[in-house]
Structure formats: structure tokens, C-alpha cells
Amino acid sequence: MAEVFDLFGDPVPANWGGRGRPEHVANQQNRNRVSLLVALGWSNARIASALFITQPTLRKHYFSELKFRDVARDRLVAQVGVKLMDGVNAGNVSAIREFQKYLERNDLMMYGQTQQPAKASAAEKPAPAEKVGKKAAAIAAAQQPDAGTPLGELMARRQQAVTSH
């Protein structure tokens, strides 16, 4: 008996058009979805609802994808690395940038860090100067005359005379 396929290339179940719900047929696209969702840390209940199936159906048809839950994230990260490397080999500039970020994240993971080390601590940084508005800056400039001009020298002598008395 020849197998019949629908317009999307999926096999048509034998009881199609009959009474009851047709049996779920696992395909490669759904297997890839399950693998991705397992790698992202989704629960079985959440994955099953995303595929519009029950949890027992999920366990029945996708057992091989679910049993590698502990290494699924590593496999996904490795697959992303391979795709990035393909882009780097093709000369894709954005892939090169992303691959550099990928390497930095991998290095952080290798050394047990969860984030980039701080460049300088708060104690080492000098306190930022207090911002001064235009009016306050003008008043401060008026209090300190420019000694390079004759008027500035005269004002400086006058201020010294006032402060000395």
C-alpha cells in the first residue's frame, strides 16, 4: 500500500476523515522543535501544549529527544557555533562579530564566570565633578578676574585690598 502525503509533505493518517482524532505522527520538524524547546529549558507540559499534544503523546513520540535534557543546551550552543563558523568561513562580517561575542561568552563559561569582569571598581574611580549651570559659572568667573588684562589686574588688586582689610 502506497503512503499518501498531504500538501505539506506530511503522511496522511490511515483513519483520516473517519471518526475520532487522528493519531499524532512525529515528523522531523516537530523533533527539531522539541529538541530546541528542551534546550531552552521548557517543561514537558509546556512543550506538549506548544505542539498541541498531550504529555503522554509527547513522551511516546519524542522520547529520544527528551532523554538528552541534560546535554541539550550544550548541543544547541555547539550547533549555533558551527553555523557561526560557517558564516565566518564565508566571509560574512556580521557573523565574524557574532562569533567573537560567542567566543567571549564561551571563555567566560570556561572560567566559571557569569558576567564580564568589572573594568574598575567604584572606589578606584574619581568622583564626578559637580555640574555647574551657566549662571553659577558666570558668577564664579566674575569672582576670579583674568589677570592677563589691565582691567583684570585692577580687579584682582581691589579684591586683595578688600579681603586684607
Q: pLDDT tens digits for 96-152?
A: 999 999 988 888 877 776 666 666 565 677 778 888 889 988 888 777 877 788 887
CA distance 102 to 56: 37
Q: How confident is the model at residue 21, as a pLDDT?
A: 75
The model's confidence at residue 160, banded by pLDDT at 50, 70 and 90, is confident
CA distance 96 to 65: 31
- For residue 18, the cross-strand partners are none
Q: How confident is the model at residue 121, as a pLDDT?
A: 61
Question: Which pLDDT tens digit goes with each residue over 59-85?
Answer: 999 999 999 888 998 888 899 999 999
Looking up cell 538528552, which residue turns up? 68
33 pLDDT higher than 90: yes
Task: Count the alpha carbons within 13 Å of 132 in the hemisphere toward its beta carbon.
Answer: 9
Q: How confident is the model at residue 122, as a pLDDT?
A: 57
Q: What burial class does residue 47 get, using C-beta atoms within 10 Å of its C-beta: 0-12 exposed, 13-18 middle, 19+ buried?
A: buried
- Name, in order, each residue with C-beta under 8 angstroms of 24's C-beta and a sequence gap of 6 or more: 53, 57, 61
Q: How confident is the model at residue 62, as a pLDDT?
A: 94
Q: How confident is the model at residue 114, as a pLDDT?
A: 64
Task: Give me the sign of the Cα torsion angle 49, 50, 52, 57.
Answer: negative
Helix (H, G, I), strand (E, B) or coil at 8: coil
Q: How confident is the model at residue 130, as a pLDDT?
A: 84
Q: DSSP letter string over 80-132?
A: HHHHHHHHHHTT-HHHHHHHHHHHHHHHHHHTT-SSPPPSS-TTTSPPPPPP-
